[in-house]
C-alpha cells in the first residue's frame, strides 16, 4: 500500500548543517506491458527496485529558491528540469538545491524521477509533505511515487499504483552498465508490438525477478543495438539475473556475492555503477 503522509522517507540525518540525500538509481526487476491506453499511456505491471547509489542532492536555506547542477551528466539540464518542477510544487521555505548528476540521462534508471524523489524526502525532513503528495509526485512522472519511497515495490496502472511485495533482496550485489547511448522513453514505448504476454508472475521479489521479463527490451534493442552487446557481456559474468532496466539503455546484473560482481571488468567506454539493492 502507499505510505501515508506521516511516514518519514528520509535517510541519514543532515551532515555539517546541510541536508543531503541520495537519488537512488531505479531498476525494473520485471516490466510487463499489458496494453495501450486511450490517454496515450500504457498499462504496466512492474517490480521497482533501487540501488544504494545514484545522484546526490543537497539543500540549504537561502533568500530565494535556486538549483545548481554539476557532475558528469549535468550538462544540458536546463532550469526547467524535474527537480525545479518538484521544488515549485512543494510547500517549503526558500532554499538552494545542489544536484550532482552521476547517473546518465535517458537511461532507464529513473534519473530525473529519482532526483525528484530525493527532493521530496529532503522537503519532508525539513517541512513535512502535504497529504496529497502522491498526487503531486505522479503529476511529475509515473516513476516518481516509487522513487519517493525508493524500496522494492510493485507498480500497476501507469506505474503509480504501488503495492508491497514479499521477500527481501536488500543487500543483493548489483552492477549497472550503460553503453553511453541515450534512449528517450517515448520511442521505446511506441516500438512495443502491442502483444499482452501476461501479468507479473506470482511470488516474492526473487520469483518475480527470475520469472518476469521486460517487454520493452526488443524495441529498445531495435533502436540501440548496443544493448544486446551489454546484455550478452553481462550474461558471461556469473550473474543470476541479467535484464534491461525500464526503457533502457541501461542493463543490470544481480549476483550472489560482491566478489562475483567486482570480478567483472566492464569494457570501455561503457558507463557502469556497482552497488547493492536497498
Active centre residues (catalytic): 26, 143
Euclidean distance between CA atoms 116 and 85, whole angstroms: 9
Residues 6+ away with beta carbon under 8 Å from 228: 221
Q: Cα 242 vs. chain centroid, distance in angstroms?
A: 17
Whether 195 and 222 have beta carbons less than 8 Å apart is answered as no
The beta-strand segments (E) located in the chain are: 19-36, 42-61, 66-70, 95-100, 153-157, 161-163, 173-178, 241-244, 251-254, 271-276
What are 176's three cell numbers? 549497472
Amino acid at each position: 500500500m502507499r505510505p501515508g503522509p506521516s511516514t518519514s522517507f528520509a535517510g541519514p540525518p543532515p551532515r555539517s548543517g546541510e541536508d543531503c540525500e541520495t537519488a537512488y538509481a531505479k531498476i525494473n526487476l520485471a516490466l510487463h506491458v499489458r496494453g495501450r491506453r486511450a490517454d496515450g499511456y500504457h498499462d504496466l505491471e512492474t517490480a521497482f527496485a533501487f540501488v544504494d547509489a545514484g545522484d546526490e542532492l543537497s539543500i540549504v536555506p537561502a533568500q530565494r529558491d535556486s538549483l545548481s547542477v554539476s557532475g558528469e551528466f549535468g550538462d544540458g539540464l536546463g532550469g526547467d528540469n524535474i527537480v525545479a518542477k518538484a521544488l515549485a510544487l512543494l510547500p517549503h521555505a526558500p532554499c538552494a538545491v545542489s544536484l550532482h548528476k552521476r547517473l546518465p540521462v535517458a537511461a532507464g534508471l529513473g534519473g530525473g524521477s529519482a532526483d525528484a524523489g530525493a527532493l521530496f524526502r529532503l522537503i519532508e525532513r525539513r517541512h513535512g509533505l502535504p497529504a496529497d503528495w502522491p498526487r503531486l509526485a505522479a503529476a511529475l512522472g509515473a516513476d516518481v511515487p516509487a522513487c519517493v519511497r525508493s524500496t522494492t515495490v510493485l507498480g500497476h496502472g501507469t506505474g503509480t499504483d504501488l503495492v508491497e511485495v514479499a521477500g527481501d533482496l536488500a543487500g543483493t550485489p548489483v552492477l549497472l552498465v550503460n553503453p553511453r547511448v541515450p534512449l528517450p522513453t517515448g520511442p521505446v514505448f511506441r516500438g512495443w508490438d502491442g502483444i499482452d504476454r501476461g501479468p507479473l508472475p506470482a511470488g516474492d521479489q526473487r520469483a518475480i525477478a527470475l520469472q518476469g521479463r521486460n517487454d520493452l527490451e526488443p524495441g529498445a534493442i531495435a533502436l540501440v543495438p548496443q544493448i544486446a552487446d551489454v546484455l550478452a557481456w553481462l550474461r558471461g559474468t556469473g550473474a543470476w539475473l541479467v535484464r534491461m532496466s525500464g526503457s533502457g539503455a541501461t542493463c543490470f546484473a544481480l549476483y550472489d556475492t560482491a566478489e562475483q560482481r567486482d570480478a567483472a571488468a566492464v569494457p570501455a567506454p561503457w558507463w557502469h555503477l556497482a552497488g547493492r539493492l536497498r
